[in-house]
A = this chain, B = another copy of it.
Amino acid sequence: MSGAAVKVDARVRRTRRRLQDALVALVLERGYEAVTIRDVAERADVGYATFFRHYASKEALLLDLLEGLLGDLMSLLGPTLVDDDASRDGATVFAHVRQHADLYRVLIAGHRHVDLVSRAGEVAAASLLRAFEPAPDALLPPAAAVNHLVRSFLALIEWWLDAGMDPSPERMGAAFEVMIMRPVRAVAFRRRERGGTS
Chain A residues in the interface with B (C-beta under 8 A): 112-113, 139-141, 143-145, 147-148, 151-152, 155-156, 159-160, 163, 166-167, 171, 174-175, 178-180, 182-184, 186-187
Contact = CB atoms under 8 A, between A and B. Distances in A.
B113 A179 contact: no
A147 B162 CA distance: 12
Contacts of A174: 139
Quickly give the copy total for this chain: 2
A167 B140 contact: yes
Given A179-B183, A183-B179, A159 B139 contact: no
A152 B148 contact: yes
| Interface majority SS (helix, strand, loop, mixed), chain A | helix
Nearest to A159: B147
Contacts of A148: 152, 155-156, 159, 179-180
B139 A156 contact: no
23 contacts: A112-B112, A139-B171, A139-B178, A140-B175, A140-B179, A141-B163, A144-B160, A144-B163, A144-B175, A147-B155, A148-B152, A151-B151, A151-B152, A151-B155, A152-B152, A175-B187, A178-B186, A179-B183, A179-B184, A179-B187, A180-B183, A182-B183, A183-B183
Contacts of A145: 179
A193 B21 CA distance: 53
A144 B159 contact: yes
A175 B140 CA distance: 7
A143 B159 contact: yes
B144 A156 contact: yes
Contacts of A179: 139-140, 145, 148, 183-184, 186-187
A151 B156 CA distance: 9
Nearest to A146: B159
